[in-house]
């Protein structure tokens, strides 16, 4: 916990409820362990929710959108204005996350936490901290006060989604340049070389990728973030949507709500949330393994194992939404399967 961010109480996992779920699963009409990781997930969900028969529906999806000043360095395949254009696409229901949210019957909220332009549109949550971050190659991305405000906005959005009835949180993002920002954050925290973390993002050339690595290395040298202080890291080389996602994750953990973590950017935000409060990670399940090389390093920092690996690298929360039915299956298994006793079936004893 940093000195600058207010303390958030996160409860310990309820291991007793997890054991109750494990014992009950062994009475279901199947050989012990035959549903593999679904059984492990059901036990994890029981411990998180303090309910041996956990529910994960309906899920709540929150997509945070913000711009990054570092795009001025030519690190992305797309211009900055695409962030705002994609937010309009979200509002019009045309993006992947709209399709997958509808598929899983999720509540969906789009939050402008720092887009560089003004956006009008029905259904948009306006919570802009500032019009994009500054170019962290030349100056700090934002002030510490702005970083804290972005986390607090994310926390509030997470709490509101939970109050709407969300039993699982899926966080997504939109922000041209945010793989650069995430790579910088991860390089600072992990100590790994930038070259090992930086990929081709939305489809940049090899030359641009090398340039992107050099931009990040220069930024880390110039900004010198305190690797033990998540607020300092966010203020110097962070993104507003990354801070917002971290805040929403803290809200989920505070309320015993499972957090299904998306790809590279969201997992980087999860690492930041874990730095703010280590117990936050107890409530996280990584939905998928991204194609971004830095994602593996972020997953390792969380100590997690992804549910699926489909070669995804879109963001928006899309991979987590696609993985959600696996969580739902684990929940339904323990809630709806018959036991040997109730079905009148002889078990191996």
Residue, of 25 and 2, whose pLDDT is higher: 25
Half-sphere CA count of 283, side-chain side, radius 13 A: 32
Helix (H, G, I), strand (E, B) or coil at 293: helix
Which active-site residues does the annotation give?
Answer: 316
Q: What is the per-residue DSSP string for 72-99?
A: GGS-SSS-TTHHHHHHHHHHTT-SHHHH
What is the band of 349 on the pLDDT scale with cuts at 50, 70, 90? low
Q: How much is the pLDDT for 1?
A: 40
Closest CA to 249 of 259, 239, 234: 259
How many alpha carbons fall within 13 Å on the CB side of residue 9? 1
Q: What was the pLDDT predicted at 2?
A: 45
Report the pLDDT value the prediction gives residue 201, as an integer from 0 to 100. 67
Give yes or no for a contact between 48 and 182, defined as CB atoms under 8 angstroms apart: no
Give pLDDT, residue 4.
Answer: 54
- Residue 16 in this model has a pLDDT that exceeds 60: yes
**What is the tens place of the pLDDT at every residue in 270-314?**
999 999 999 999 999 999 999 999 999 999 999 999 999 999 999
Q: Distance between CA atoms of 217 and 194, rounded to whole angstroms?
A: 7
Of the CA atoms within 13 Å of residue 318, those in its CB half-sphere come to: 17
Please provide the average confidence, as pLDDT, over all residues in the chain.
96
pLDDT band per the 50, 70, 90 thresholds, residue 318:
very high
Residue 75: is its pLDDT beyond 60? yes
pLDDT at 18 over 80: yes
Long-range residue pairs from 163-167, CB within 8 A, at least 24 positions apart, any chain: 164/60, 164/107, 165/58, 165/60, 165/107, 166/58, 166/59, 166/60, 166/107, 166/257, 167/49, 167/55, 167/56, 167/57, 167/58, 167/59, 167/257, 167/258
Res 3: pLDDT = 45
- 15-53+334-343: which CATH topology? 1.10.1610
Instruction: Give the model's pLDDT for residue 273.
Output: 98
- Cβ burial 54-71 (10 Å sphere, 16+ → b, else e): bebbebbbbbbbbbbbbb
* 59-328 under CATH 3.40.50.10210, yes or no: yes
Q: Residue 139's pLDDT band (boundaries 50, 70, 90)?
A: very high
pTM above 0.95, yes or no: yes
pLDDT for 7:
76
141-173, pLDDT tens digit by residue?
999 999 999 999 999 999 999 999 999 999 999
Alpha-carbon dihedral 337, 339, 342, 345, rounded to 10 degrees = 110
The ranges assigned to domains in the chain are 15-53+334-343, 59-328
Residue 331 bridge partners (DSSP)? none
Q: What residues contact 307, with CB distance under 8 A and at least 6 apart? A: 37, 285, 286, 287, 288, 323, 326, 327
Mean pLDDT, residues 85-95: 98
């Amino acid at each position: 916990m940093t000195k600058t961010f207010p303390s958030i109480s996160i409860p310990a996992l309820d291991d007793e409820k997890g054991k109750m779920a494990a014992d009950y699963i062994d009475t279901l009409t199947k050989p012990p362990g035959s549903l593999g990781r679904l059984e492990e997930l059901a036990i994890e969900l029981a411990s998180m929710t303090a309910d041996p028969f956990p529910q994960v529906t309906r899920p709540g999806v929150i997509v945070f959108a913000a711009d990054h000043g570092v795009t001025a360095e030519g690190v992305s395949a797309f211009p900055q204005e695409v962030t705002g254009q994609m937010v309009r696409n979200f509002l019009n229901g045309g993006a992947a996350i709209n399709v997958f949210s509808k598929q899983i019957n999720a509540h969906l909220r789009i939050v402008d936490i720092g887009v560089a332009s003004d956006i009008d549109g029905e259904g948009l949550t306006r919570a802009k901290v500032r019009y994009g971050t500054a170019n962290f190659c030349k100056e700090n991305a934002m002030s510490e006060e702005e970083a804290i405000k972005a986390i607090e906005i994310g926390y509030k959005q997470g709490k509101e989604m939970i109050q709407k009835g969300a039993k699982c949180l899926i966080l997504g993002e939109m922000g041209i340049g945010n793989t650069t920002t995430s790579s910088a954050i991860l390089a600072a925290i992990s100590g790994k070389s930038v070259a090992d973390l930086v990929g081709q993002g939305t489809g940049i050339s090899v030359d641009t990728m090398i340039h992107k690595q050099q931009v990040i290395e220069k930024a880390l040298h110039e900004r010198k973030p305190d690797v033990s202080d998540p607020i300092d890291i966010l203020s110097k080389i962070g993104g507003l949507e990354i801070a917002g996602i971290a805040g929403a994750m803290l809200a989920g953990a505070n309320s015993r709500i499972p957090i299904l973590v998306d790809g590279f950017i969201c997992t980087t935000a999860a690492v930041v949330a874990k730095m703010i409060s280590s117990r936050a990670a107890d409530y996280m399940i990584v939905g998928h393994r991204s194609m971004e090389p830095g994602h593996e390093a972020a997953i390792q920092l969380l100590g997690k194992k992804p549910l699926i690996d489909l070669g995804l690298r879109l963001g928006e929360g899309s991979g987590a939404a696609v993985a959600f039915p696996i969580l739902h299956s684990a929940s339904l298994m323990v809630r709806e399967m018959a036991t040997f006793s109730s079905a009148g079936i002889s078990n191996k004893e």
